[in-house]
């Protein structure tokens, strides 16, 4: 394959706006990302919200709250390419048929909830001993796809086909295909994830050499052994001039916070170029968010607002650093709005008693209302984080957040009701 030097877009897809002092803000920084296709922009640190084919769980597109409070921030939405491959398996298309069917149909045109968002396309295969493929470096090194559940199957896509899918969907950022090794997987799987991910990135860089609109993110896999992560990060660093950033992947919850922090520190040390956007996997819990940002991450994958809504929780991260469990019978006759003072649509028209009732009778509207509020509150939480970095007081913000969370937990243990205060 002919190698042509890849041109960088005239405008860099990411820029650092402010970096704090180490002793006051750790490695936290504020930046901006620019969508190559959507033309949308967003400030970082920001959450990368996980979607199912571009839609948020239990949140119809028309009800998605306006993003953030600063006005110009667009949502960052992750589009897992695996969703399309699952769809592919169910409809009987082969990998290439689906790519052809989607050609000239950008995702903005077919997935309503993603309008105006900065889109990140990712293609992660779950690593498994069932897919040995002849061991590390084995012949089918770029076979990607599902793990056998839910009708998914493993599909072999060539780099040219992967790029064709990216071009058809026109997402703004594109995470290079990778093989995941999460915390419970064996050393063999983790070793192989590094080798296969490096091989797929090399093939993709070779194939993508002439495409300046591809804002490519390298994927760093390798589980939680620091030496292995370092190797994986160095593999990605070799292609730095072709990349807009990188994703520290395989962090989908379950690992310890200490493991996460060490891995992120290792990766940022191995690839320290300030122009690269740093993304990390995760569930987006408050402590994950705060610790990842302290280590220099710009974007954190998250399903937290939606998972919380599914568990009947209303977040109050931006105010009392607290959450309310709407299943609790103490809300049965509580006529107050969900969170007084919150301008979101759920809080302006619905009482706690009503939402408690909806949750009790398993009416999906209850979860949708909580998702609206949680997403708004979560964006506000990130807005507060960005403000604290710009004021060079992020580490103090983090400590105050933890202190407030502890105080709320103590108040709950003591049986006092603090919900009416915020």
Show the binding pattern over residues 32-61: x = contacts Zn ion (CB under 5 A), - = does not: ------------------------------
State the nearest-atom distance from the C-beta of 342 to Zn ion, in Å: 3
Stretch that binds Zn ion, among 28-36, 198-206, 292-300, 341-349 (CB under 5 A): 341-349
Nearer to Zn ion, 81 or 369 (CB): 369
Stretch that binds Zn ion, among 125-133, 220-228, 292-300, 370-378 (CB under 5 A): 370-378
State the nearest-atom distance from the C-beta of 8 to Zn ion, in Å: 41
The answer to whether 373 contacts Zn ion (rule: CB under 5 A) is yes
Rounded Cα distance, 127 and 114, in Å = 29
Per CB under 5 A, the list member of 181, 243, 294, 347 interacting with Zn ion is: 347
Stretch that binds Zn ion, among 60-68, 142-150, 246-254, 336-344 (CB under 5 A): 336-344
State the nearest-atom distance from the C-beta of 401 to Zn ion, in Å: 19
The answer to whether 277 contacts Zn ion (rule: CB under 5 A) is no
Nearer to Zn ion, 75 or 276 (CB): 75
Nearer to Zn ion, 189 or 339 (CB): 339
State the nearest-atom distance from the C-beta of 286 to Zn ion, in Å: 17
Stretch that binds Zn ion, among 64-72, 182-190, 342-350, 356-364 (CB under 5 A): 342-350
The answer to whether 317 contacts Zn ion (rule: CB under 5 A) is no
State the nearest-atom distance from the C-beta of 95 to Zn ion, in Å: 42
- Residue 376 sits at the vertex; the CA angle it makes with 371 and 382, to the nearest 5 degrees, is 125
Rounded Cα distance, 216 and 171, in Å = 11
Stretch that binds Zn ion, among 21-29, 142-150, 217-225, 333-341 (CB under 5 A): 333-341
Size of the site for Zn ion (CB under 5 A): 5
Secondary structure (H, E, C), 237-264: HCCHHHCCEEEECCCCCCCCHHHHHHHH
Stretch that binds Zn ion, among 24-32, 144-152, 235-243, 340-348 (CB under 5 A): 340-348
Per CB under 5 A, the list member of 315, 344, 359, 385 interacting with Zn ion is: 344
State the nearest-atom distance from the C-beta of 83 to Zn ion, in Å: 29
Per CB under 5 A, the list member of 342, 355, 359, 395 interacting with Zn ion is: 342
Binding-site ranges for Zn ion (CB under 5 A) = 339, 342, 344, 347, 373
């Amino acid at each position: 394959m002919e190698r042509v030097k890849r041109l960088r877009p005239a405008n860099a897809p990411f820029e650092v706006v402010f970096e704090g002092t180490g002793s006051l803000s750790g490695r936290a920084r504020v930046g901006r990302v620019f969508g190559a296709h959507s033309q949308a922009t967003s400030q970082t640190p920001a959450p990368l919200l996980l979607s199912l084919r571009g839609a948020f769980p239990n949140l119809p597109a028309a009800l998605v709250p306006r993003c953030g409070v600063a006005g110009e921030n667009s949502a960052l939405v992750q589009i897992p390419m695996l969703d399309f491959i699952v769809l592919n398996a169910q409809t009987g298309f082969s990998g290439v048929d689906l790519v052809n069917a989607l050609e000239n149909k950008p995702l903005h045109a077919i997935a309503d909830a993603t309008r105006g968002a900065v889109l990140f396309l990712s293609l992660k295969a779950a690593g498994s001993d069932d897919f040995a493929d002849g061991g590390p470096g084995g012949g089918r090194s770029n076979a990607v796809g599902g793990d056998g559940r839910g009708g998914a199957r493993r599909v072999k896509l060539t780099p040219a086909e992967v790029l064709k899918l990216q071009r058809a969907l026109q997402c703004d950022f594109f995470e290079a295909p990778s093989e995941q090794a999460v915390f419970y997987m064996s050393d063999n799987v983790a070793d192989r994830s590094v080798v296969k991910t490096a091989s797929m990135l090399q093939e993709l860089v070779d194939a993508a050499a002439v495409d300046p609109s591809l804002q490519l993110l390298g994927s760093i896999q390798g589980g939680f052994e620091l030496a292995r992560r370092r190797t994986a990060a160095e593999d990605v660093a070799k292609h730095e001039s072709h990349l807009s950033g990188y994703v520290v992947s395989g962090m989908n919850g379950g690992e310890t916070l200490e493991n996460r922090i060490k891995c992120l520190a290792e990766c940022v040390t191995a690839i320290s170029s300030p122009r690269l956007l740093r993304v990390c996997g995760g569930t987006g819990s408050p402590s994950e968010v705060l610790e990842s940002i302290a280590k220099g991450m710009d974007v954190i994958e998250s399903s937290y607002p939606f998972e919380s809504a599914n568990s009947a929780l209303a977040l109050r991260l931006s105010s009392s650093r607290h959450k309310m469990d709407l299943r609790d019978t103490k809300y049965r006759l509580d006529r107050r709005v969900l969170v007084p003072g919150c301008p979101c649509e759920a809080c302006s028209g619905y009482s706690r008693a009503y939402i408690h009732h909806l949750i009790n009778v398993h009416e999906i509207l209850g979860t949708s209302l909580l998702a609206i509020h949680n997403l708004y509150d979560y964006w506000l939480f990130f807005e507060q984080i960005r403000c604290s970095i710009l004021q060079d007081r992020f580490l103090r913000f983090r400590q105050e957040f933890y202190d407030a969370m502890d105080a709320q937990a103590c108040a709950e243990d003591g049986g006092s009701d603090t919900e009416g205060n915020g």
